[in-house]
Amino acid sequence: MVVHKQEKTRLSQILEGHSVKPDVVMYNTIINSLCKNKLLGDACDVYSEMIVKGISPDVVTYTTLIHGFCIMGNLKEAFSLLNEMKLKNINPNLCTFNILIDALGKEGKMKEAFSLLNEMKLKNINPDVYTFNILIDALGKEGKMKEASSLMNEMILKNINPDVCTFNILIDALGKKGRVKEAKIVLAVMMKACVEPDVVTYNSLIDGYFLVNEVKHAKYVFYSMAQRGVTPNVQCYNNMINGLCKKKMVDEAMSLFEEMKHKNMIPDIVTYTSLIDGLCKNHHLERAIALLKEMKEHGIQPDVYSYTILLDGLCKGGRLENAKEFFQHLLVKGCHLNVWTYNVMINGLCKAGLFGEAMDLKSKMEGKGCMPNAITFRTIICALSEKDENDKGEKILREMIARGLLKE
């Protein structure tokens, strides 16, 4: 049930008209709906109304509001509610603690997260697999793999069986660090524990192998998925296509792209952008332009990242005039270009010795509210230096320093 502010009054009128006495369950339902719709102010109003009417909030009321504040990133209010609960002798439950530990983990506040874990233990509230997964994930993202592995061992000692999510978290974190040998050991433990790897497991391994340039292993994992009863999804194909493109294996990437379509899988913006990038970097500009056109024809609107990749390819491929026309087309369309897009064009203009146009574009980007960064200035200064235009370069350098973009 979606409840908006206007509906609260209407709901109250209906209840009064039918002599229905609202209870804590009814209020909790309304508060939950409002929180899910990010109408936290309204949810707090309903909570206040409860208090005024003498209906005591319970653990569900507080947990729902705490979750709402955590989603909005307001941990201060969330912990204020936790303290209020304690003052009213309403004990937080496992769900309350998991929500707060998750929020702390996402903000990298691991000391506070483990403090809550200890508080749970003192209150005889046993952490579950989700509690451990939250903490292992947060530690993994901080690169603290030793601590993450120790935590998994702790959960096993507590007779809490790691699930597919637990193993996936560790495999993904290890893969992102290029520690694929250790990721394979975790996979072996996973299978020994009779936990079946899923598509997420294989995606993480594929990413990890590409990261350490083990393309053969990445391909083996991809092609062995189906044999193990796991169907590759769009993300799997995207990971393979992106990895192959980065290794200049564009023809293989294009074959996978065609295979996707043959299997009635719908490529997304990531698929097309990876291929456009690969084609541009391997000097297949016409194919990249054709792919951008195909992308639009299939109802997938390119984003600034997609456009900038093509602009960069055109500039570096000696087709500056095409790049300028395309760039102008984007401006006319009202595309909100970012500093990277402008830097690509400024670099292209500088490489062609068109410093006047480069400086004009720098002024235009500022006029559109896109401020040049250190890369913008360095691009212009380096190009001027290469042409022995040292006086102009020094002037730009002074401006760079004045803007605080050059650290002493």
Q: What is the CATH number of the domain that holds 227?
A: 1.25.40.10
User: Which of 124, 117, 61, 58 lies closest to 90 in space, CA to CA?
Assistant: 58
Q: Is 55 helix (H, G, I), strand (E, B) or coil?
A: coil
List pLDDT tens digits, range 121-154.
899 999 999 999 999 999 999 989 999 999 999 9
Q: Which two tokens stand for residue 164?
A: 């597919």
What radius of gyration, in Å, describes the C-alpha atoms of the chain?
28
Whether residue 4 has pLDDT greater than 50:
no
Q: What is the C-alpha separation between 39 and 32, in angstroms, rounded?
A: 10
At 21, the pLDDT band (50, 70, 90 cuts) reads confident
Range of the domain at 174: 128-232
Q: Which two tokens stand for residue 249?
A: 């294996």
Q: Which two tokens stand for residue 167?
A: 């193993």
Contact 372/362 with Cβ under 8 angstroms?
Answer: yes
**CA contacts within 13 A on the Cβ side of 113:** 22
User: Which of 141, 170, 144, 143 lies closest to 155 in space, CA to CA?
Assistant: 170
At 18, the pLDDT band (50, 70, 90 cuts) reads low
Tell me whether residue 134 is in a domain.
yes
Predicted TM-score (pTM) of the model is: 0.82
Tell me whether residue 157 is in a domain.
yes
Tell me whether residue 179 is in a domain.
yes
> How many domains, in total, are found in the chain?
1
Tell me whether residue 269 is in a domain.
no
Q: What's the pLDDT at 12?
A: 55
Tell me whether residue 195 is in a domain.
yes
Contact 370/339 with Cβ under 8 angstroms?
Answer: yes
Sign of CA dihedral 15, 18, 24, 25: negative
Contact 49/30 with Cβ under 8 angstroms?
Answer: no
Tell me whether residue 164 is in a domain.
yes
Q: What's the pLDDT at 49?
A: 87
Q: What is the C-alpha separation between 358 and 343, in angstroms, rounded?
A: 9
User: Which of 251, 309, 306 lies closest to 281 in space, CA to CA?
Assistant: 309
Eight-state DSSP code of residue 302 = -
Percent of the chain with pLDDT over 70: 95
Looking at every residue in the chain, the average pLDDT score rounds to 90
3-state secondary structure 320-374: HHHHHHHHHHHHHHCCCCCHHHHHHHHHHHHHCCCHHHHHHHHHHHHHCCCCCCH
Whether residue 6 has pLDDT greater than 70:
no
Strand (E) or helix (H) holding 307: helix 304-316
Tell me whether residue 25 is in a domain.
no
* Cβ neighbours of residue 77 closer than 8 Å, sequence gap 6 or more: 69
List pLDDT tens digits, range 300-349.
999 999 999 999 999 999 999 999 999 999 988 888 899 999 999 999 99
Tell me whether residue 222 is in a domain.
yes
Whole-angstrom CA distances from 152 to 125, 137, 167, 203, 360 are 18, 11, 9, 21, 58
Q: What is the C-alpha separation between 199 and 93, in angstroms, rounded?
A: 33
Contact 268/298 with Cβ under 8 angstroms?
Answer: no
